[in-house]
């Protein structure tokens, strides 16, 4: 009975949901994420779904997953091996049981273990009965039966009732993790109740009943001997919401427009996993954000460049193959020296590769994937919430330096979510000083010259169409300071050097890197972008174990932060874990002539902390 289930305090719990694609795994995962966050835990999550919209049901290829980690301290990743697995059918069980921690809990819907479903995924006997799951704490719950019973008096078809199993499961988990049920009930009302955007009262009632049934089931069934009790995490004071990286970037675009006084403009084309960004941004018409969904990736960046030339704050959003298509136009923004932010949500490559899976393999494409000497600044967001700040910073630098800037995020942080401390518009840096259009009234007696520069930033003087008397021509041919086309050999040398120096100069104003751990030691682990979480968690644990290990995270991956070389020189060995075949390692080796070791992983899945820890221990000779 409930009284017998003892509350076991835990520091963190890793939960994984798996089921049919289209079975609502992302929804239930996001709901538990929100519930935990609302209850004061820190959380981090990672969706994992197949590229087919409705992949064949009941097959392993069609399994959709969602993993999350909730804790009473700062959580940096969606966790390693799950403590609790919720698998809704035999295919999902077969797909993910092997990932569960020894002794971990597996919750599954026993009603779905029909002979047909079992044989479809090659189970010769029922794994719930044949002992193959010995070593796990298996909770086989007849979910359909229980939900149908709970909804017996409702005028709904059985399939419609069965869909309420997700909220039933939420009820069980709410009890298991000792969460506040009221928050879920409020959520159901918000989403389906009378005041919802599209009220669905019957669904609201059914889900409420199913949720309460699940909660009650947790309390009364003798299934659970222990419940988890997570304390609230120590988190900086403020207003929070859960946010995905793609949503955070979309909001940053609207906010940067407002804070620069320029009309924000996105030229784009749908591509997984960046499309959610465009979805949300398309709703921001009331914030004055113009979105043009163009005929292809090239047109997406091209209309953004056109908008930039006309004085809008322009963005284009994409993923790897799209970035490849935008190559020539990115070079155009660079030689025209107009501001542009390119947000690239990286996915598995090459070519179409793994559209729904994460990877960090566009670093070298971002660095060198254009003809000619064509450097541009690259900033890599290190968490879903950081996608806001990284995109906002990119907009600032693009304006200040009159240059295209690439924001690298990835499928993991783009679609994963974590709590975001919501800033107020007043708190955000004012971007108007960086706009600084050239106007004749500010320069009496001076004639406008399109490629005259600010001596500090090397940003060129910029007059937009409509500025009185400043009509001029710019183009993609090499030109001299006056803007006139020039094929003069020394002029090209000079202009190429200036374009490079402009990006190099940025390093001077970048913040110094902060070291996690001691200033010197045996191993330095360098993460960039989305590997931040796993490396931070791993280094924290290694330090706690007394190892002489430190970590740094590169947010600006080009140019390198000013003190990077000096930090590297203070460690015996350097490790760069990357979701690619060693692209940052290559750059670090070339730049600093150090024997950087690469830990590479290209499995469509982010690093787990233990993978980093194992590699560091190997380097320490332990």
Query: Residues 272, 77, 360, 393: is their CA dihedral positive or negative?
Result: positive
Least Å distance, CB 451 to other proteins, is 14
Of 259 and 499, the one with the shorter C-beta distance to other proteins is: 259
CB 79 within 8 A of CB 14: yes
Of 55 and 435, the one with the shorter C-beta distance to other proteins is: 435
| DSSP conformation class of 136 | S
65-92 in b/e form (b: 16+ CB < 10 A) is bbbbbbbbeebbbbbbbbbbbbbbbbbb
Least Å distance, CB 26 to other proteins, is 15
* E strand or H helix at 55: none
Least Å distance, CB 303 to other proteins, is 3
Q: What is the DSSP string of 312-363?
A: -EEEEEE-HHHHHHTHHHHHHHHHHT--EEEEEEE-B-STT-BTTS---TTH
Least Å distance, CB 307 to other proteins, is 4
Site of tokens 């393999």: 361
Least Å distance, CB 450 to other proteins, is 10
Of 389 and 609, the one with the shorter C-beta distance to other proteins is: 389
Q: How do beta strands 290-293 and 264-268 pair?
A: parallel
Q: What is the binding site for other proteins (CB under 8 A)?
A: 34, 37-38, 40, 187, 235-242, 251, 254-255, 258, 263, 265, 267, 284-288, 290, 292, 294-296, 298-299, 302-312, 314, 328-329, 332, 336, 422-425, 464-477, 484-485
Of 55 and 324, the one with the shorter C-beta distance to other proteins is: 324
160-184 in b/e form (b: 16+ CB < 10 A) is ebbbbbbbbbbbbbbbbbebebebb
Of 401 and 462, the one with the shorter C-beta distance to other proteins is: 462
Of 309 and 620, the one with the shorter C-beta distance to other proteins is: 309
Q: How far apart are CA 412 and CA 48, in angstroms?
A: 9
Least Å distance, CB 490 to other proteins, is 22
Of 122 and 261, the one with the shorter C-beta distance to other proteins is: 261
Q: How far apart are CA 25 and CA 171, in angstroms?
A: 15
* Helices 181-192/25-38 angle, 10° precision: 130
Least Å distance, CB 482 to other proteins, is 11
Of 22 and 423, the one with the shorter C-beta distance to other proteins is: 423
**24 DSSP β-pair partners:** none
Q: How far apart are CA 378 and CA 330, in angstroms?
A: 13
Q: How do beta strands 313-318 and 340-346 pair?
A: parallel
Of 292 and 620, the one with the shorter C-beta distance to other proteins is: 292
Of 421 and 570, the one with the shorter C-beta distance to other proteins is: 421
Least Å distance, CB 242 to other proteins, is 6
Torsion of Cα atoms, 462 then 467 then 471 then 472, to 10°:
10
Of 133 and 309, the one with the shorter C-beta distance to other proteins is: 309
Least Å distance, CB 233 to other proteins, is 9
Of 153 and 427, the one with the shorter C-beta distance to other proteins is: 427
Neighbours of 115 (CB within 10 A): 9
- Three-state SS for 86? strand
Question: Angle at Cα 348 formed by Cα 506 and Cα 383, nearest 5°?
Answer: 50
Q: What are phi and psi of 430, to 5 degrees?
A: -70, 125
Of 417 and 516, the one with the shorter C-beta distance to other proteins is: 417
From 473, 434, 436, 476, select the one nearest 336 (Cα to Cα): 476
Cis previous bond, 350, omega within 30: yes
Q: How do beta strands 556-558 and 290-293 pair?
A: unpaired
- Three-state SS for 455? coil
């Amino acid at each position: 009975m409930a009284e017998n289930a003892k509350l076991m305090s835990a520091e963190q719990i890793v939960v994984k949901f798996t089921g049919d694609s289209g079975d609502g795994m992302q929804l239930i995962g996001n709901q538990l994420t929100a519930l935990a966050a609302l209850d004061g835990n820190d959380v981090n999550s990672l969706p994992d779904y197949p590229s087919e919209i409705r992949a064949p049901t009941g097959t392993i290829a069609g399994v959709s997953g969602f993993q999350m980690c909730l804790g009473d301290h700062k959580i940096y990743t969606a966790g390693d091996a799950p403590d609790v697995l919720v698998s809704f059918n035999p295919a999902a069980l077969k797909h993910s049981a092997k990932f569960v921690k020894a002794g971990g809990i597996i919750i599954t819907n026993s009603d779905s273990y029909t002979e047909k479903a079992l044989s479809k995924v090659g189970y010769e006997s029922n794994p719930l009965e044949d002992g193959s799951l010995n070593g796990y704490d298996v909770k086989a719950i007849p979910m359909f039966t229980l939900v149908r019973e709970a909804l017996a008096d409702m005028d709904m078809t059985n399939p419609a009732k069965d869909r309420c199993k997700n909220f039933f499961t939420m009820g069980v988990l709410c009890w298991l993790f000792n969460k506040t049920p009221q928050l879920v009930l409020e959520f159901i009302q918000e989403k389906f109740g009378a005041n919802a955007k599209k009220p669905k009262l019957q669904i609201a009632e059914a889900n409420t009943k199913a949720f309460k049934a699940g909660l009650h089931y947790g309390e009364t069934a003798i299934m659970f001997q222990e419940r988890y009790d997570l304390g609230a995490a120590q988190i900086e004071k403020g207003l929070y919401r859960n946010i995905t990286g793609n949503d955070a970037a979309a909001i940053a675009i609207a906010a940067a427009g407002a804070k620069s006084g320029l009309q924000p403009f996105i030229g784009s084309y749908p591509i997984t996993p960046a499309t959610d960004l465009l979805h949300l941004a398309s709703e921001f018409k009331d914030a004055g954000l113009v979105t043009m969904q163009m005929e292809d990736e090239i047109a997406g960046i091209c209309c953004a460049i056109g908008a930039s030339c006309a004085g809008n704050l322009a963005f284009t959003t994409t993923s790897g193959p799209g970035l490849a298509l935008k190559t020539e136009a990115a070079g155009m923004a660079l030689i025209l020296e107009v501001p542009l932010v390119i947000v690239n949500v990286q996915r598995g490559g090459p070519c179409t590769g793994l559209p729904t899976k994460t990877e960090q393999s566009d670093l070298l494409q971002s660095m060198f994937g254009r003809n000619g000497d064509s450097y541009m600044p690259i900033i890599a967001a290190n968490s879903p919430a950081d996608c806001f700040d990284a995109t906002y910073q990119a907009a600032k630098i693009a304006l200040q330096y009159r240059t295209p800037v690439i924001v690298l995020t990835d499928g993991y942080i783009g679609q994963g979510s974590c709590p975001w401390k919501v800033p107020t518009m007043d708190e955000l840096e004012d971007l108007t000083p960086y706009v600084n259009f050239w106007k004749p009234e500010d320069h009496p007696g001076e004639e406008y010259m399109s490629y005259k520069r600010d001596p500090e930033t090397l940003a060129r003087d910029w007059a937009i169409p409509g500025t009185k008397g400043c009509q001029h021509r710019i183009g993609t041919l090499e030109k001299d300071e006056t803007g006139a086309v020039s094929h003069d050999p020394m002029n090209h040398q000079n202009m190429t050097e200036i374009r490079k120096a402009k990006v190099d100069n940025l390093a001077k104003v970048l913040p110094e890197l902060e070291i996690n751990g001691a200033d010197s030691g045996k191993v330095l682990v360098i993460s960039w972008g989305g590997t931040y979480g796993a490396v931070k968690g791993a280094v924290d644990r290694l330090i706690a174990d007394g190892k002489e290990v430190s970590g740094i995270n590169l947010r600006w991956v080009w140019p390198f932060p000013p003190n990077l070389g000096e930090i590297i020189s203070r460690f015996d060995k350097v490790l760069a874990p990357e979701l690619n075949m060693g692209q940052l390692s290559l750059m670090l080796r070339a730049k600093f002539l150090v024997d950087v070791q690469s830990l590479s992983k290209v499995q469509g899945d982010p690093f787990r902390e233990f993978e980093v820890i194992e590699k560091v221990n190997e380097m320490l000779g332990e």
